[in-house]
Amino acid sequence: MLFNIVYQFGDALSFLLLSAIGLAVIFGMMKIINLAHGEFITVGAYGTVVSGKVFSLPLPVAMAFGVLVTIIFGLILEKLIIRHLYGRPLDSVVATWGISLIVSQSFLIIFGPSYEGLQTPMGNFKLGDYSYSEYRVFLIIFSLLLLALLYILFMKTSFGTLARATIEKPEMASAMGVNVNNVYSATFAIGAGLAGVTGALYAPTMTIVPSIGQAFIVSAFITVVTAGASPFIGLVPAAAFLSTIQTSVTFFYKTTIGIVALLSSVILIIRFLPKGFSGLMERKK
């Protein structure tokens, strides 16, 4: 019983973390309101499933292929459109919304209303009366590891310092001899690639439909906003807090009320903790 609750909680937690992880870079750091984030996840999922089916690649290779496709997709978009919208955050809403329409509809036309998915890898294990998916437990651990890696990349390496400095003061960074455009492209590609990872990881667990990304987008935004100004520090406590609320309310009432509680708590957090969980943690230091 206790493990069951922990498992449900962990499942919700990893879903929030993985849906937010790419957006934490693109929205949390670069301040681009990327409404096409869900479609990046879609690209990753289709890349994985289609390559897995057509070339009958083993799953990890197919996943790597899916991520690669998403990175390339992100780089092309950045070069053609996003690059011209830096510093115009509200216009990026409209452009990325347009992109998301184009992408999801193209997938519908090319691959049809649904695509035969892959089997969930790994087995199940039994504990007490319930049986649990090993893959879901893997996702929980993997999402935490991925976040730790991301934290190291952006906070401890010289690339991370460069990226943060460039986003903070582009003119200054440029004056110091940094190629601002390349740093932006690389950061955006990392964000897109992470969204691709999310798509690849969830591809074997879901029915593959062109609107698959829509399932992630709202969770992604609310988690990143709750995480606050330093997304990599705040993401885990934010996701933990939100999944606690969602699982407990869902446990006592029903799923829709759980979603209502989740969204309401986000509204209250923005009101009373405008800098999110990372602001709270930095204040305590």
Partner 1 sequence: MKINIKKNKLPILIFLIFGIVPLFLDSYYLDNISYFMCWSFISLGLAVIWGMGGVLSFGQTAFFGLAGYSFGVISINFIGVPGVGIWSVFLALFITGIFGLIVGYFLFYGGIYDVFVGIVTLAITLVFETFMQQTAGPEYTIGVARLNGFNGMQGMPTIGFQDTKFGLVQGITQYYFILTLAAIILFALYKFKNSKIGLIFLASKEDRDRVASLGHNVKRVQLIGFVIASLLAGVSGILYTNWGGYITPSSMGLVSAALPVVWVAASGKKDFLSVFVGCIFLVWLSQMLAINGAQFAIIAMGLILVITTRFFPDGLILRAKNILINKIKWLQ
Q: Say which residues have a Cβ less than 8 Å from residue 89's Cβ, sequence separation at least 6.
A: 31, 32, 33
Cβ pair 199, 66 in contact under 8 A:
yes
Q: Please identify which residue in the block is written with the tokens 């849906």.
A: 19
Taking the complex as a whole, the smallest distance from the CB of residue 235 to partner 1 amounts, in Å, to 16
Tell the smallest beta-carbon distance from residue 108 to partner 1 (Å). Answer: 7
Residue among 197, 190, 189 nearest 63 (CA): 197
Q: Which of 88, 148, 157, 182 binds partner 1 (CB under 8 A)?
A: 88
By CB under 8 A, residue 105 contacts partner 1: yes
What is the spatial distance between Cα 225 and Cα 262, in angstroms, rounded to a whole number? 13
Q: Does 33 bind partner 1 (CB under 8 A)?
A: yes
Beta-carbon contacts of 80 under 8 Å, excluding residues fewer than 6 positions away, are none
Q: Does 106 bind partner 1 (CB under 8 A)?
A: yes
| Sole binder of partner 1 in the list 1, 2, 109, 175 (CB under 8 A) | 109
**Torsional class of 63: left (φ above 0), alpha (ψ -120 to 50), beta (otherwise):** alpha
Q: Is 259 in the site for partner 1 (CB under 8 A)?
A: yes
Element (H, E) at 160: helix 158-168
Question: Which window, 13-21, 141-149, 200-208, 263-271, contacts partner 1 (CB under 8 A)?
Answer: 263-271
Among 285, 109, 13, 51, residue whose Cα is nearest residue 5: 13
Residue 221 touching partner 1 (CB under 8 A): yes
At closest approach, how far in Å is the CB of 141 from partner 1? Answer: 29
Q: Does 84 bind partner 1 (CB under 8 A)?
A: yes
Query: Minimal distance in Å, beta carbon 234 to partner 1?
Result: 14
43 binds partner 1 (CB under 8 A): no
Q: From the list 51, 100, 187, 243, which residue makes contact with partner 1 (rule: CB under 8 A)?
A: 100
Instruction: Please report whether residue 267 would count as binding partner 1 according to CB under 8 A.
Output: yes
DSSP for 190-232 reads HHHHHHHHHHHHHGGGS-B-TTTTHHHHHHHHHHHHHH-SSHH
Kindly state whether residue 76 participates in binding partner 1, applying the rule CB under 8 A: no
| Binding residue (CB under 8 A) for partner 1 from 54, 90, 158, 171 | 90
Closer to partner 1 by Cβ: residue 60 or 87 = 87
Q: How many CB atoms lie under 10 A from the CB of residue 174?
A: 14
**Residues 30 and 187 sit within 8 Å (Cβ to Cβ):** yes
Given the DSSP bridges, would you call strands 124-127 and 130-133 parallel, antiparallel or unpaired? antiparallel
Rule CB under 8 A: which residues touch partner 1? 31, 33, 35, 81, 84-85, 88-95, 97-102, 105-106, 108-109, 214, 217-218, 221-222, 225, 254, 256-257, 259-260, 263-264, 266-267, 270-271, 274
